A = this chain, B = another copy of it.
Amino acid sequence: MCGISIDMERKPYLTPKQQKVLDFIRKRIGERLPPTIREIGEELGFKSTGTVRDYLKALMQKGLVRRMNNKSRAIELTERASFKIPIIGTIMAGKPNLAYEEIQGYVDADDLFLGRLGFDDVFALRVKGDSMIDAGIIEGDIAIIKKRPHADNNDIVAALLDNNEVTLKRLRSKSGKFHLEAANSNYAPIFEEFKVIGKLITVIRKY
Protein backbone atom coordinates (compact mmCIF):
# COMPACT_ATOMS: atom_id res chain seq x y z
CA MET A 1 0.00 0.00 0.00
CA CYS A 2 2.81 2.29 0.84
CA GLY A 3 4.40 1.99 -2.57
CA ILE A 4 1.12 2.59 -4.29
CA SER A 5 0.28 5.68 -2.33
CA ILE A 6 3.65 7.21 -3.10
CA ASP A 7 3.01 6.47 -6.72
CA MET A 8 -0.37 8.15 -6.60
CA GLU A 9 1.10 11.32 -5.25
CA ARG A 10 3.50 11.57 -8.12
CA LYS A 11 1.29 10.75 -11.04
CA PRO A 12 -2.21 11.86 -11.87
CA TYR A 13 -4.65 9.18 -12.78
CA LEU A 14 -4.43 8.09 -16.37
CA THR A 15 -6.86 5.90 -18.25
CA PRO A 16 -5.27 2.80 -19.75
CA LYS A 17 -5.43 4.27 -23.21
CA GLN A 18 -3.92 7.53 -22.10
CA GLN A 19 -1.14 5.55 -20.49
CA LYS A 20 -0.54 3.74 -23.75
CA VAL A 21 -0.32 6.99 -25.64
CA LEU A 22 2.12 8.34 -23.09
CA ASP A 23 4.19 5.19 -23.19
CA PHE A 24 4.38 5.30 -26.96
CA ILE A 25 5.51 8.91 -26.92
CA ARG A 26 8.13 8.09 -24.32
CA LYS A 27 9.31 5.11 -26.32
CA ARG A 28 9.67 7.13 -29.48
CA ILE A 29 11.49 9.95 -27.77
CA GLY A 30 13.85 7.44 -26.26
CA GLU A 31 14.43 5.69 -29.55
CA ARG A 32 14.89 8.67 -31.76
CA LEU A 33 12.24 11.24 -32.48
CA PRO A 34 9.00 12.27 -30.87
CA PRO A 35 6.15 10.97 -33.04
CA THR A 36 3.82 13.00 -35.20
CA ILE A 37 0.13 13.01 -34.41
CA ARG A 38 -0.54 10.64 -37.27
CA GLU A 39 2.20 8.27 -36.16
CA ILE A 40 0.59 8.04 -32.76
CA GLY A 41 -2.74 7.35 -34.41
CA GLU A 42 -1.33 4.58 -36.56
CA GLU A 43 0.36 2.90 -33.62
CA LEU A 44 -2.67 3.00 -31.39
CA GLY A 45 -5.13 2.20 -34.16
CA PHE A 46 -6.91 5.55 -34.36
CA LYS A 47 -8.28 6.53 -37.71
CA SER A 48 -8.62 10.22 -36.97
CA THR A 49 -6.04 12.79 -36.04
CA GLY A 50 -8.70 14.41 -33.93
CA THR A 51 -8.70 11.41 -31.61
CA VAL A 52 -5.00 11.72 -31.02
CA ARG A 53 -5.38 15.41 -30.35
CA ASP A 54 -8.01 14.62 -27.74
CA TYR A 55 -5.49 12.40 -25.99
CA LEU A 56 -2.73 14.95 -26.21
CA LYS A 57 -5.05 17.54 -24.79
CA ALA A 58 -5.85 15.26 -21.88
CA LEU A 59 -2.17 14.57 -21.23
CA MET A 60 -1.41 18.26 -21.37
CA GLN A 61 -4.18 19.09 -18.93
CA LYS A 62 -2.77 16.52 -16.57
CA GLY A 63 0.60 18.18 -16.84
CA LEU A 64 2.46 15.27 -18.34
CA VAL A 65 3.17 16.61 -21.79
CA ARG A 66 4.12 19.94 -23.26
CA ARG A 67 3.76 21.01 -26.87
CA MET A 68 4.70 23.80 -29.20
CA ASN A 69 2.15 25.09 -31.66
CA ASN A 70 2.50 24.42 -35.34
CA LYS A 71 5.76 22.59 -34.95
CA SER A 72 6.10 19.04 -36.14
CA ARG A 73 6.90 16.44 -33.53
CA ALA A 74 7.14 19.11 -30.87
CA ILE A 75 5.98 16.94 -28.02
CA GLU A 76 8.00 16.76 -24.86
CA LEU A 77 7.48 15.09 -21.56
CA THR A 78 7.40 17.19 -18.43
CA GLU A 79 9.41 16.35 -15.36
CA ARG A 80 6.43 14.56 -13.91
CA ALA A 81 6.35 12.23 -16.86
CA SER A 82 10.04 11.91 -17.58
CA PHE A 83 11.51 8.55 -17.01
CA LYS A 84 12.69 7.74 -13.55
CA ILE A 85 14.31 4.64 -12.20
CA PRO A 86 12.86 3.84 -8.80
CA ILE A 87 15.18 3.70 -5.84
CA ILE A 88 13.78 1.02 -3.61
CA GLY A 89 14.17 0.13 0.01
CA THR A 90 12.46 -3.06 1.01
CA ILE A 91 10.68 -5.41 -1.34
CA MET A 92 7.58 -7.51 -0.88
CA ALA A 93 8.49 -11.13 -0.65
CA GLY A 94 6.39 -14.18 -1.46
CA LYS A 95 4.96 -12.93 -4.71
CA PRO A 96 5.55 -14.22 -8.20
CA ASN A 97 6.60 -10.78 -9.40
CA LEU A 98 8.57 -8.58 -7.09
CA ALA A 99 6.58 -5.65 -5.83
CA TYR A 100 8.34 -2.60 -4.55
CA GLU A 101 7.34 -2.01 -1.01
CA GLU A 102 9.10 1.20 -0.24
CA ILE A 103 10.09 3.58 -2.96
CA GLN A 104 12.48 6.11 -1.60
CA GLY A 105 12.70 8.25 -4.67
CA TYR A 106 13.58 8.23 -8.29
CA VAL A 107 16.72 8.62 -10.30
CA ASP A 108 16.08 10.59 -13.43
CA ALA A 109 17.63 8.58 -16.19
CA ASP A 110 18.55 11.64 -18.20
CA ASP A 111 20.09 13.60 -15.42
CA LEU A 112 21.67 10.60 -13.85
CA PHE A 113 25.23 11.31 -14.55
CA LEU A 114 25.52 14.70 -16.14
CA GLY A 115 22.54 16.69 -15.11
CA ARG A 116 22.08 19.55 -17.45
CA LEU A 117 25.73 20.27 -18.02
CA GLY A 118 26.84 21.12 -21.46
CA PHE A 119 28.92 18.36 -22.92
CA ASP A 120 31.56 20.81 -23.92
CA ASP A 121 32.70 21.28 -20.39
CA VAL A 122 33.17 17.66 -19.57
CA PHE A 123 35.74 14.99 -20.10
CA ALA A 124 36.50 11.63 -18.60
CA LEU A 125 39.49 9.94 -17.07
CA ARG A 126 39.88 6.25 -16.62
CA VAL A 127 41.26 5.73 -13.17
CA LYS A 128 44.57 3.99 -12.81
CA GLY A 129 46.15 2.77 -9.63
CA ASP A 130 44.87 2.77 -6.11
CA SER A 131 45.78 6.21 -4.87
CA MET A 132 42.16 7.19 -4.26
CA ILE A 133 40.96 3.90 -2.92
CA ASP A 134 39.93 5.28 0.46
CA ALA A 135 37.53 7.58 -1.38
CA GLY A 136 36.00 4.53 -3.04
CA ILE A 137 37.60 5.25 -6.39
CA ILE A 138 39.30 2.23 -7.83
CA GLU A 139 41.18 1.19 -10.92
CA GLY A 140 39.02 1.10 -14.01
CA ASP A 141 36.46 3.61 -12.79
CA ILE A 142 35.47 6.35 -15.16
CA ALA A 143 35.84 9.75 -13.57
CA ILE A 144 33.69 12.45 -15.12
CA ILE A 145 35.43 15.78 -14.81
CA LYS A 146 33.97 19.19 -15.28
CA LYS A 147 36.54 21.59 -16.63
CA ARG A 148 37.35 24.32 -14.18
CA PRO A 149 40.58 26.19 -13.51
CA HIS A 150 40.05 26.21 -9.77
CA ALA A 151 38.31 24.31 -7.02
CA ASP A 152 37.69 24.43 -3.30
CA ASN A 153 39.41 22.83 -0.40
CA ASN A 154 38.57 19.11 -0.13
CA ASP A 155 37.27 18.86 -3.68
CA ILE A 156 38.57 15.96 -5.68
CA VAL A 157 40.20 17.41 -8.75
CA ALA A 158 41.93 16.43 -11.93
CA ALA A 159 45.29 18.14 -11.81
CA LEU A 160 48.00 18.56 -14.37
CA LEU A 161 51.47 17.93 -13.05
CA ASP A 162 54.76 19.20 -14.37
CA ASN A 163 55.45 16.02 -16.29
CA ASN A 164 52.19 16.45 -18.22
CA GLU A 165 50.51 13.67 -16.32
CA VAL A 166 46.95 14.11 -15.24
CA THR A 167 46.12 12.83 -11.80
CA LEU A 168 43.05 12.58 -9.66
CA LYS A 169 43.61 13.80 -6.13
CA ARG A 170 42.00 15.66 -3.32
CA LEU A 171 42.76 19.36 -3.19
CA ARG A 172 43.83 20.62 0.22
CA SER A 173 44.73 24.05 1.43
CA LYS A 174 47.08 24.57 4.34
CA SER A 175 47.82 28.06 5.50
CA GLY A 176 46.72 29.55 2.21
CA LYS A 177 48.72 27.21 0.01
CA PHE A 178 47.21 24.35 -1.99
CA HIS A 179 48.57 20.86 -2.36
CA LEU A 180 47.27 17.51 -3.54
CA GLU A 181 46.52 14.56 -1.36
CA ALA A 182 45.89 10.92 -2.21
CA ALA A 183 43.17 8.94 -0.45
CA ASN A 184 45.60 6.18 0.45
CA SER A 185 48.09 6.38 3.28
CA ASN A 186 50.74 4.70 1.14
CA TYR A 187 51.04 7.82 -0.99
CA ALA A 188 52.68 11.04 0.09
CA PRO A 189 51.04 14.42 -0.51
CA ILE A 190 52.12 16.28 -3.63
CA PHE A 191 53.56 19.73 -3.05
CA GLU A 192 55.01 20.23 -6.55
CA GLU A 193 53.67 22.71 -9.03
CA PHE A 194 50.31 21.70 -10.49
CA LYS A 195 47.35 23.14 -12.28
CA VAL A 196 43.74 22.28 -11.54
CA ILE A 197 42.02 21.46 -14.79
CA GLY A 198 38.72 20.24 -13.49
CA LYS A 199 36.60 19.01 -10.67
CA LEU A 200 35.31 15.51 -10.17
CA ILE A 201 31.55 15.48 -10.47
CA THR A 202 30.70 11.83 -11.01
CA VAL A 203 32.24 8.40 -10.84
CA ILE A 204 30.90 5.56 -12.90
CA ARG A 205 31.85 1.95 -12.66
CA LYS A 206 30.56 -0.74 -14.96
CA TYR A 207 30.58 -4.41 -14.12
Contacts and interface: CB of A to CB of B under 8 A. Distances in A.
A94 to B, nearest CB: 9
A104 interface: yes
A55 interface: no
B166 A123 contact: no
A200 B204 contact: no
Nearest to A93: B164
A166 B102 CA distance: 11
Given A112-B113, A136-B141, A123 B164 contact: no
B207 A204 contact: no
Q: Which of A93, A137, A203, A205 is most buried by chain B, counting CB atoms within 10 A of its CB?
A: A205
Interface residues of A, number: 61
Interface stretch (A3-11, A27-35, A184-192): A27-35
Interface in A82-98: 83, 85-93, 98
A205 B136 contact: yes
A22 interface: no
Contact of A93 (B86, B160, B200, B202): B160
A42 to B, nearest CB: 13
A67 B200 CA distance: 37
A109 to B, nearest CB: 7
